[in-house]
């Protein structure tokens, strides 16, 4: 396992070393002076042309090692409406058996409200969307073995982002939070109950501090980092305590890509019964920074909110 981790870190650190001299961060969810980066265990409140490839999630369990190697592609339909598709290739290894194959595909339709501008530093935005898991698109063998879902769900979701640039303290202004709340409607609640999913992140943006609060005489590498903690939880209508994870880590942003790495820690004892502390790493590209053609701009150049 140690060799695997060494090879993984080396491979995914390569883009970081090659593009070290890139321009300052200009990611896609912008609200005033605030840039909300792409989060790893939850979705951000914006829509844009972008791709995450790969997202590698290493998760030990009491009986096996479960890994996933994921992708996500997001395309803007209008300036504020976008659609996303994502999936994962799963591997599960235990002393007695092994499985590998594709998980079900998930589709997301999201509409972003314009940034609130009642004050220059309000830095508040939100989105509404719906997420649908498409049953039958994953591996039949994994579905028959119960490794992936055999019953679909539809999840209306609310997303938000709030920066604290309006605070008086210079050292508090780089803080921001993002979050999402979903109601998960099962296609067959009698077998697979419906439930709620909720998540939030707490971020401290060093790029924001450098560009909008006070210029520091610090290495440029450091000033592109955003320390972050993500919390993702879910509850079932069948009752019982919630399950979820707490994920502290670091995001590194440039004008064209982002690299993120987080530990994935069980949030409570019930979650710890099914998984141990894992690790997630993601390489994310902003396509609108590369392409001015169809791949990097909305299909229809309009805004549904009229602004």
- pLDDT tens digit sequence for 22-56: 333 344 688 988 999 999 999 999 999 999 999 99
The full set of domain ranges for the chain reads 2-296
The string of pLDDT tens digits covering residues 107-143 is 999 999 988 877 778 899 999 999 999 999 999 999 9
The string of pLDDT tens digits covering residues 153-187 is 999 999 999 999 999 999 999 999 999 999 999 99
Structural contact between residues 293 and 70, judged by C-beta atoms closer than 8 angstroms:
no
Q: Which of 87, 138, 80 is nearest to 109 (CA)?
A: 80
Q: Is the dihedral of CA 25, 289, 128, 192 positive or negative?
A: negative
Higher per-residue confidence, 280 vs 295? 280
The string of pLDDT tens digits covering residues 235-276 is 999 999 999 999 999 999 998 999 999 999 999 999 999 999
Task: Tell me the fold of 2-296.
Answer: Porin (2.40.160)
Q: What is the pTM of this model?
A: 0.88
Interstrand relation of 29-31 and 34-36 (parallel, antiparallel or unpaired): antiparallel
The share of the chain scoring above pLDDT 70, in percent, equals 90
Q: Which residue carries 């039949």 as its tokens?
A: 140
């Amino acid at each position: 396992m140690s060799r695997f981790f060494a090879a993984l870190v080396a491979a995914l650190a390569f883009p970081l070393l090659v593009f070290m001299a890139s321009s300052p961060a200009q990611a896609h969810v912008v609200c005033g002076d605030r840039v909300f980066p792409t989060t790893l265990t939850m979705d951000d409140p914006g829509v844009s042309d972008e791709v995450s490839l790969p997202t590698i999630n290493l998760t030990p369990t009491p009986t096996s090692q479960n890994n996933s190697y994921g992708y996500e592609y997001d395309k803007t339909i209008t300036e504020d409406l976008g659609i996303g598709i994502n999936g994962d290739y799963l591997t599960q290894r235990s002393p007695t058996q092994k499985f590998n194959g594709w998980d079900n595909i998930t589709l997301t339709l999201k509409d972003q409200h314009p940034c609130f501008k009642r004050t220059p530093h309000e830095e508040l935005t939100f989105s509404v969307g719906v997420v649908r898991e498409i049953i039958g698109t994953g591996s039949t063998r994994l579905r028959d073995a119960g490794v992936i879902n055999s019953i679909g769900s539809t999840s209306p979701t609310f997303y938000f982002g709030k920066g604290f640039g309006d605070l008086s303290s210079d050292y508090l202004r780089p803080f921001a939070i993002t979050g999402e709340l979903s109601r998960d409607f099962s296609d067959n609640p009698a077998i697979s109950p419906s439930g709620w999913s909720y998540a939030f992140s707490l971020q401290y943006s060093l790029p924001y501090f450098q560009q909008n609060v006070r210029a520091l005489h610090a290495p440029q590498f450091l000033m592109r980092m955003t320390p972050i903690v993500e919390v993702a939880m879910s509850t079932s209508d069948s009752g019982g305590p919630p399950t979820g994870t707490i994920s502290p880590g670091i995001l590194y942003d440039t004008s064209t890509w982002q690299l993120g790495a987080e530990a994935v820690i069980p949030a409570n004892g019930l979650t710890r019964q099914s998984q141990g502390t894992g690790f997630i790493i993601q390489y994310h590209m902003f396509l609108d920074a590369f392409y001015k053609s169809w791949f990097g701009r909305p299909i229809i150049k309009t805004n549904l909110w009229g602004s």
